[in-house]
């Protein structure tokens, strides 16, 4: 009976996984992902599941003016996320949601909701957060590049109700019993309908234009799911 209950719990958590910054990450020692795992971890076949640790996970962004300058930067907090790893260290799946209402800046002292820049980022010129409060990323493929920690990632990013395929390199390293996924990439905001002050759609003098490419970096911590 206990084995049946464990199997039911495992299948339930797997179903939820499918449906549903910090600087210290850089100092994590890389070890094999396929290291020995606790016996109470949730296994389905030879795959183990991990849940995103929300307080220790960030999606950082940086936007620039075409003519240079400091631009603006900040982060968005994830709402939920999962990662599944095969016993041989390969990445079998991954998914996370972003709470677009948490978008904030780190280059300005005023980070309240009344901050003019934050309010503008939430309005229809940018992320139209009232209409689209969630962003989503679904991992499609992860190809191991070298060693035990480097991968080329293919996934689908959904913003403003628009889904586009993206490709980027990532590193997944072990920190104790946790996994930390790190990546840096650039996305073309116009592919998600964010065309405010874009030189690709309107004619403005250069010092009024914003770069179409937005720099994004991920620091996501995942914790092993435990048995019932």
Q: Average pLDDT, stretch 59-72?
A: 82
- The model's pTM is 0.75
| Cβ partners under 8 Å of residue 161, min gap 6 | 131, 132
Give how many domains the chain has, as a whole number: 1
Return the CATH number at 60: 2.40.128.110
Residue 187 in this model has a pLDDT that exceeds 50? yes
**Which residues are registered as beta bridge partners of 155?**
139, 166
Q: Which H or E run includes 120?
A: helix 116-122
User: Which residues span the domain enclosing 32?
Assistant: 2-224
Q: Which of 5-14, 126-135, 155-164, 206-215 has the lowest mean pLDDT?
A: 5-14
Task: Give the model's pLDDT for residue 42.
Answer: 37
């Amino acid at each position: 009976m206990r084995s049946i209950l464990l199997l039911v719990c495992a299948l339930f958590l797997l179903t939820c996984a499918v449906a549903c910054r910090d600087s210290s990450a850089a100092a994590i020692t890389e070890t094999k992902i396929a290291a020995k795992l606790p016996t109470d971890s949730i296994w389905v076949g030879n795959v183990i599941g991990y849940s995103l640790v929300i307080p220790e996970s960030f999606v950082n962004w940086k936007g620039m003016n075409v003519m240079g300058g400091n631009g603006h930067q900040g982060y968005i907090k994830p709402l939920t996320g999962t990662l599944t790893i095969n016993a041989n260290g390969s990445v079998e799946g991954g998914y996370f949601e972003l709470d677009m209402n948490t978008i904030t800046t780190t280059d300005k002292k005023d980070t309240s909701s009344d901050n003019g820049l934050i309010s503008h980022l939430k309005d229809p010129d940018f992320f139209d957060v009232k209409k689209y409060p969630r962003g989503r990323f679904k991992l499609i493929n992860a190809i191991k590049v070298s060693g035990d920690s480097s991968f080329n990632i293919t996934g689908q990013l959904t913003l403003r109700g628009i889904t586009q395929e993206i490709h980027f390199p990532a590193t997944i390293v072990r920190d104790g019993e946790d996994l930390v996924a790190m990546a840096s990439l650039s996305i073309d905001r116009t592919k998600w309908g964010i065309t405010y002050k874009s030189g690709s759609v309107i004619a403005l003098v250069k010092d009024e234009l914003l770069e179409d490419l937005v720099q994004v970096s991920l620091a996501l911590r995942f914790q092993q799911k435990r048995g019932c």
